[in-house]
Amino acid sequence: MLGNFVYSNPTRLCFGEGSLDRLKGELENYGGRVMLVYGGGSIKKNGIYDKVTAILKDCGKTVFEDAGVMPNPTVEKLYEGCRIARENEVDLILAVGGGSVCDYSKAVSVSAYCEEDPWDKYYLRMEEPDNKIIPVGCVLTMVGTGSEMNGGSVITNHETKLKIGHVFGDNVFPKFSILDPTFTYTLPKYQMTAGFFDIMNHITEQYFSDTDDSTSDYVMEGLMRSLIHSSRIAVKEPENYEARSNIMWTATWALNTFVAMGKTTDWMVHMIGHAVGAYTNATHGMALAAVALPYYRKICPYGLEKFKRFAVNVWDVRPEGRTDEEIAAAGLSAMEDWMKEIGLVMKISELGATEDMIEGIADATFINSGGYKELTRDEVIDILKESM
Ligand code: NZQ
Ligand code: ZN
């Protein structure tokens, strides 16, 4: 393993069916004024809202609601949340929802007392918070992003057509997260499978880099095998607890910083996917699914050994009688078959992208250098065209 690192993760997880019972104990660690953040109303339909508000009431908290956090939360919504948090001097932000609600809550937590425009400071200039940070706790209802145990916070600015993630340090990680797999049963299939690909892609973004022997790569192979196995069950039986709980746990470990230790990481599928999202407002996991294969096929020759290993160790491709290139290609074909089997979107055109957007999407794509090949702008355009 190459690279020195310091590792810690401050988020306390309460995992499993019935784990909402732990919320009361967690709330006791904070003051009386709680900002309850949620999305477009799914938690009211499935009863989670009633359960959470009953616990808040039982704990004697004064609750300030901030509803309507949209998928891919916007900068305008962030300004609104900052106002609510600041004016009511909240002691805790309780996020009840998916990655968008958790990400948004973290953005509000660092921005409420920020004296400048938080979009400029945190998302354009990528500075770290030097003001008061409001603690965040999460009750997760959608699986995929890993936001429940990381410092990631992605905000979209539709006016400038930029979707940018800031990965904050552990002072911004949720203080606690409640993970009850049964809370994810009501997810529509489209969201559920988008989340499955988000998890897969978080792992591959960290797997396809470096050439040294790294424990993190072996851990990731295990996580991918578990995800593939459980996802096949979950698409047929959405209420299979064993499958949904394994997927929830895999999602958390895929992006809670653990498997990135000692590695450089790539994140180019996410960079292209976010640019697609800024133009189309596509569901995050589907934007990734639509660009991943053209990207991996393009960089495969530069990281051939790892793509071969991926084929054999993750997809059980038999190497006998095949060239290295054929083995690697068979691995990516196996991933393609799995993606189609679980029902992912394979083209950005199906997400609303049109030919006239391609140049703009390429311009909105941040180019990273941690993977096997640093892309040129023309190569980004090739990938986007292959996904039309
Ligand atoms: O808004 P409501 O009504 O709650 O509906 C949501 C939303 O429409 C619905 N939903 C969530 N839980 C549900 C449910 N519907 C029924 N039953 C439930 N139990 O699902 C829809 C999507 O929710 P959202 O939170 O947007 O999805 P996701 O968890 O995929 O989050 C996406 C956001 O996270 C960012 C993405 O870019 C995107 O903005 N990411 C955050 C990351 C991080 N923090 O590290 C990393 C990721 O790569 C990603 O970029
Ligand atoms: Zn993602």
pLDDT tens track for 240-292: 999 999 999 999 999 999 999 999 999 999 999 999 999 999 999 999 999 99
Q: Tell me which fold the domain 12-183 belongs to.
A: Rossmann fold (3.40.50)
Mutate-to-test residue for ligand 1 from 140, 166, 191, 198, highest number of ligand atoms within 8 A of CB: 191
Which residue, judged by its Cα, is nearest atom 30 of ligand 1? 99
- pLDDT of res. 264: 95
Token pair recorded at residue 325: 């290139």
Cα–Cα distance, 106 to 167 (Å, whole number):
10
Is residue 87 over pLDDT 90? yes
Which residue, judged by its Cα, is nearest atom 41 of ligand 1? 145
- pLDDT of res. 178: 98
Q: Label the pairing between strands 136-140 and 176-179.
A: parallel
pLDDT tens column, 348-363:
999 999 999 999 999 9
- pLDDT of res. 54: 98
Task: Find the 381 Cα to ligand 1 centroid distance in Å.
Answer: 27
- pLDDT of res. 97: 98
Q: What angle do CA 67, 73, 79 make, to 5 degrees?
A: 75
pLDDT band at 367 (very low <50, low <70, confident <90, very high): very high
What Rg, from alpha-carbon coordinates, does the chain have?
20
Task: Find the 255 Cα to ligand 1 centroid distance in Å.
Answer: 15
Residues near ligand 1 with C-beta < 6 Å? 39-43, 46, 71-72, 97-101, 103, 141-142, 144-147, 150, 152, 154, 165, 183-184, 186-187, 191, 195, 198, 255, 270, 284-285
Cα–Cα distance, 19 to 179 (Å, whole number):
7
- pLDDT of res. 313: 98
pLDDT tens column, 22-31:
999 999 999 9
pLDDT tens column, 25-77:
999 999 999 999 999 999 999 999 999 999 999 999 999 999 999 999 999 99
Cα–Cα distance, 250 to 222 (Å, whole number):
10
Mutate-to-test residue for ligand 1 from 103, 105, 199, highest number of ligand atoms within 8 A of CB: 103
pLDDT band at 7 (very low <50, low <70, confident <90, very high): very high
The DSSP letter of residue 11 is: P
Cα–Cα distance, 384 to 323 (Å, whole number):
29
Token pair recorded at residue 376: 């040129």
Domain 190-387 in CATH: superfamily?
Dehydroquinate synthase-like - alpha domain (1.20.1090.10)
Task: Find the 327 Cα to ligand 1 centroid distance in Å.
Answer: 35
Task: Find the 99 Cα to ligand 1 centroid distance in Å.
Answer: 4
Cα–Cα distance, 299 to 183 (Å, whole number):
38
pLDDT tens column, 305-336:
999 999 999 999 999 999 999 999 999 999 99
Task: Find the 71 Cα to ligand 1 centroid distance in Å.
Answer: 6
Task: Find the 42 Cα to ligand 1 centroid distance in Å.
Answer: 11
pLDDT tens column, 110-156:
999 999 999 999 999 999 999 999 999 999 999 999 999 999 999 99
With beta carbons less than 8 A apart as the criterion, state whether 384 and 363 touch. no
Which residue, judged by its Cα, is nearest atom 31 of ligand 1? 99
Q: Give the ligand with the smallest distance to the CA of 200.
A: 2
Task: Find the 302 Cα to ligand 1 centroid distance in Å.
Answer: 33
Q: Give the ligand with the smallest distance to the CA of 155.
A: 1
Domain spans of the chain? 12-183, 190-387
pLDDT tens column, 204-251:
999 999 999 999 999 999 999 999 999 999 999 999 999 999 999 999
pLDDT band at 19 (very low <50, low <70, confident <90, very high): very high
Cα–Cα distance, 287 to 87 (Å, whole number):
37
Is residue 297 over pLDDT 90? yes
Q: Do domains 12-183 and 190-387 have the same CATH topology?
A: no
Q: Give the ligand with the smallest distance to the CA of 165.
A: 1
> What's the sign of the alpha-carbon dihedral 170, 176, 251, 271?
negative
pLDDT band at 2 (very low <50, low <70, confident <90, very high): confident
Is residue 1 over pLDDT 90? no
Task: Find the 273 Cα to ligand 1 centroid distance in Å.
Answer: 15
Q: Give the ligand with the smallest distance to the CA of 148.
A: 1
Secondary structure element (H or E) that encloses residue 359, with its range:
helix 358-363
